[in-house]
Structure 1
Amino acid sequence: MVVDGGSIITPKGFSAGGLHCGLKKTERHDIGAIVCEVVATAAAVYTTSVFQAAPLKVTRESLVDGKLRAIVVNSGNANACTGQQGEADAYAMRAEMARQLGVAEKDVAVASTGVIGELLKMDCVQSGIEALPLRLRQDEGGAEDFTQAILTTDLVKKEACVSVVVDGKDVIIAGAAKGSGMIHPNMATMLAFMTTDANIDQAALQQLMRQATDLTFNMITVDGDTSTNDMLVSMASGLAGNQALDSSHPDWAAFAKAFTYVCQKLAMAIARDGEGATRLVEVVVHGAVSDHSARVIAKTVVGSSLVKTAVFGADANWGRIIAAVGRAGEPVNPDQVDVQLGAISVLEGSRPVAFDEEAALVYLKGDTVRIFVDLHGGEGQATAWGCDLTYDYVRINAAYRT
């Protein structure tokens, strides 16, 4: 069940906060934290880029034992490709956050997002972390401050929160994310954080995160670029009081479905908020030889610059869709493909279908455009999300550093 008004601090045991410390040129928040009042079971997945930012190295080390108390996050600077000094700065962030909270350094994770290749202004970071404990709150104000602190070119915050019954108890799962450009996760610049008060086995949480990520965050794209800083971190306080969850638990399927739902909502929000975007694009592929094949094809279509610009121009150019299907490198019978734009059929059995161009124009001007592709070649299916490609995307990224 969706929790109206829920946020990252709705699960029992969590507080959050954020403030402006001077990393951003404007007065927008640029440093924040999520803190658990108990040692939380934790897990994470990371970017597959070979250029991994310093905070990822620190967080990997913190998560060796699968436990965390806090996550400290800055925006405005990615602390990526910054050499030994960048690593030292990430460790210093962890150490100072631990000192302020009175917890072990290994119980603190670090995340950063922003411009690549510039050293952090550590005087600003230091003062920001020193001020954070007094900004931590267990109400919506704290959650709001945190979600604002992690944004870069994002226009809106991304949040989701649900409840699910486990062992007769209400368990809450919540998430917050940022991401607008450099979005093509292979794990978008994407950071996501999830909290839950479920009592859950660490290995089960890690496995669930990987599975949910493959179906959600790894199925979005804005521009085809994978960041150096992509990270999804989850903390479970265990304060809901349920019996420990793992795949053998009778309520595991319900919990996993709810967890994946939160991931999907965050992923879709990132895609919709793509830099300069005016529309969310959803591509649904059926009839592939496998789910993996369907995922590759769906993401190829939604990531096609020509498909994205056709959606921006409200042009029902289905030729761009089948061109993307054909170059995806997956098995496809070129004589039996169907394509629909919403409810409007434009291709059946790989043959053009007469359709109402005006109706297609109206549909493509809507907030969400759904493209359905049926390959009639098997049982594989998948859904991918992206956005249109607009003039504003070029404008925003042509002057990102200035």
Structure 2
Amino acid sequence: MAAMEMGDHATFEQYLEKGSVTFSSGRIGIKRDGDDAALFVFSEHAVYAGAFTTNAFKSACVTSAMDRLRAQKKIKAVLITSGNANAGTGPAGRADTERLAAGVAGHVGCAADEVVVLHTGVIGVPLRAERLIGSLEGLCQLAASTPEKLVGAARAMMTTDTFPKVSARAFQVGDTSYTVWGVAKGAGMIHPKLATMLSVLVTDAPVSQRTLQRVLSRVVGQTFNRISVDGDTSPNDSVLLFSTGGARMEAGTAEFYGAVDETIFEDALKSVAQDLAHSIVRDGEGATKFLEIVVRGVQSEADAERIAETIATSPLVKTAFFGEDFNPGRIISAIGRAGVAVSFDRLRLTLGDQRVYDAGQFLVTAESDARRVMAMKEIPVVVELGAGELEIRYWTCDLTFDYVKINAEYTT
């Protein structure tokens, strides 16, 4: 199941484990209008894993969430606010994050350090939690386990996004069926590692914290860390993974047995995360094209990622796709500056269904074929190096006039 809009509720409902997680959304006073808070409440405490921005400049909410992860806290609730990043706000910013955590905790019946709070929005503006606290009671009272509530929460997380991002999968281990679902936000300031993105992922499978963290780290590396919209990385990026079955496991339920079971879970989680990652790219600020960059025939995954990332972040490449200007020389030039040893005599480049470079030279492409490929809304860019067996995929979008307009006016 791909990321969904409102009309997909009936299909999505089968993936929600009734009662184990409830959701709500509302306006608590950060944005001028519209919902600006999303709440997720677990009926029982959930085991918690996380991945966070590598930007050295971290928001107060990221350091708070990382502290809870290091302490291996089990989590009762997650509050996400949009409109203010609460980054670069000093000790008062951290106090604001913790005050919101305490406010939610008082209404859902847990300790303050069993609530994770995330923020997204404008950097460098004081949050002033005291003006928001009074709205938390209503937010908590509205929580329910319905598809409408979940999509509403996904929508409340949005900043420059144009649609809510939700995905789910069912999977089976032995005779038992489990689910994993997730929500995400993100459209701009998107680049590994991670991006201006937030994601909450939940499974009902019995998974220990150690296994949860190990699997999440691998999955993030192959999904959220392989997307780029504009080459910028935010101080607020967070991907949180919760197991509602993990807490019950300590009461006597066994975890998965062996690597095969872990692989089944990882495949399902990766599928959900990839759905959400693709949705972020498709919703890239001002984007009109979705580009899948495939780099194959390499010996090193790191080399393949460097090549893909260099192509994905080249303004010349991205604007050429926006203008539908057939210019494969920009892609070959990007490969040449990626800092990877490449034999251009062996390299092949294919755009859509057209081989455009082979054995050290560009090939003649009919003008009609060039126009047809560049007019596509989804364009595969395949780089074959002929030097190994590895292959990676990376996703990006074009760079448009609207991207410039959105970001030139972001705070105004």
The verdict on a shared fold, with TM-score over 0.5 as the criterion, is yes
Q: 1:293·1:380 contact (CA, 8 Å) conserved in 2?
A: no
How far 1:7 moved relative to its partner?
Answer: 7.1
How far 1:123 moved relative to its partner?
Answer: 3.9
Give the structure 1 partner of residue 266 of structure 2: 256
Give the structure 2 partner of residue 316 of structure 1: 326
CA displacement, residues 182-220 of structure 1 (integer Å, 9 cap, x when unaligned): 111214211111011010011111011111111111111
Q: 1:21·1:30 contact (CA, 8 Å) conserved in 2?
A: yes
Give the structure 2 partner of residue 46 of structure 1: 52
Aligned residue-pair number: 400
Q: 1:193·1:234 contact (CA, 8 Å) conserved in 2?
A: yes
The AA in structure 1 aligned to 2:182 is: G
Give the structure 2 partner of residue 298 of structure 1: 308
Q: 2:37·2:79 contact (CA, 8 Å) conserved in 1?
A: yes
User: In the TM superposition, what are the counterparts of 1:3-402 in structure 2 within 5 Å?
Assistant: 5-6=11-12, 10-11=16-17, 13-26=20-33, 28-63=34-69, 64-238=71-245, 243-245=254-256, 248-402=258-412
Q: 1:9·1:143 contact (CA, 8 Å) conserved in 2?
A: no
Q: 2:15·2:169 contact (CA, 8 Å) conserved in 1?
A: no
CA displacement, residues 79-98 of structure 1 (integer Å, 9 cap, x when unaligned): 00000110110110111111
How far 1:299 moved relative to its partner?
Answer: 1.5
Which range moves more in the overlay, 301-310 or 391-400? 301-310
How far 1:8 moved relative to its partner?
Answer: 11
Distance in 2 between residues matched to 1:258 and 1:307, nearest whole Å: 33
Q: 1:53·1:228 contact (CA, 8 Å) conserved in 2?
A: yes
CA displacement, residues 306-355 of structure 1 (integer Å, 9 cap, x when unaligned): 11111101122111111111111112112211001111111111311122
Distance in 2 between residues matched to 1:39 and 1:165, nearest whole Å: 23
Distance in 2 between residues matched to 1:197 and 1:83, nearest whole Å: 37
The AA in structure 2 aligned to 1:344 is: Q
Q: 2:97·2:129 contact (CA, 8 Å) conserved in 1?
A: no
Q: 1:79·1:119 contact (CA, 8 Å) conserved in 2?
A: yes
Q: 2:170·2:179 contact (CA, 8 Å) conserved in 1?
A: yes
The AA in structure 1 aligned to 2:255 is: A
Distance in 1 between residues matched to 2:264 and 2:387, nearest whole Å: 31
CA displacement, residues 72-125 of structure 1 (integer Å, 9 cap, x when unaligned): 010000000000110110110111111110112221111000000001142442
Q: CA RMSD in A?
A: 1.9
Distance in 2 between residues matched to 1:116 and 1:70, nearest whole Å: 24
Distance in 1 between residues matched to 2:187 and 2:2, nearest whole Å: 24
Normalised by the size of structure 2, how large is the TM-score?
0.93
The AA in structure 2 aligned to 1:120 is: L
Give the share of equivalent positions with the same residue, in percent.
37
Distance in 2 between residues matched to 1:275 and 1:245, nearest whole Å: 40
- What 5-or-longer segments of structure 1 have no aligned partner? none
Q: 2:293·2:308 contact (CA, 8 Å) conserved in 1?
A: yes
Q: 1:289·1:331 contact (CA, 8 Å) conserved in 2?
A: no
Distance in 1 between residues matched to 2:266 and 2:325, nearest whole Å: 39
Which range moves more in the overlay, 249-258 or 212-221? 249-258
Q: 2:73·2:113 contact (CA, 8 Å) conserved in 1?
A: no
Distance in 2 between residues matched to 1:297 and 1:7, nearest whole Å: 40
How far 1:283 moved relative to its partner?
Answer: 0.4
Distance in 2 between residues matched to 1:9 and 1:114, nearest whole Å: 30
- What 5-or-longer segments of structure 2 have no aligned partner? none
Q: 1:204·1:245 contact (CA, 8 Å) conserved in 2?
A: no
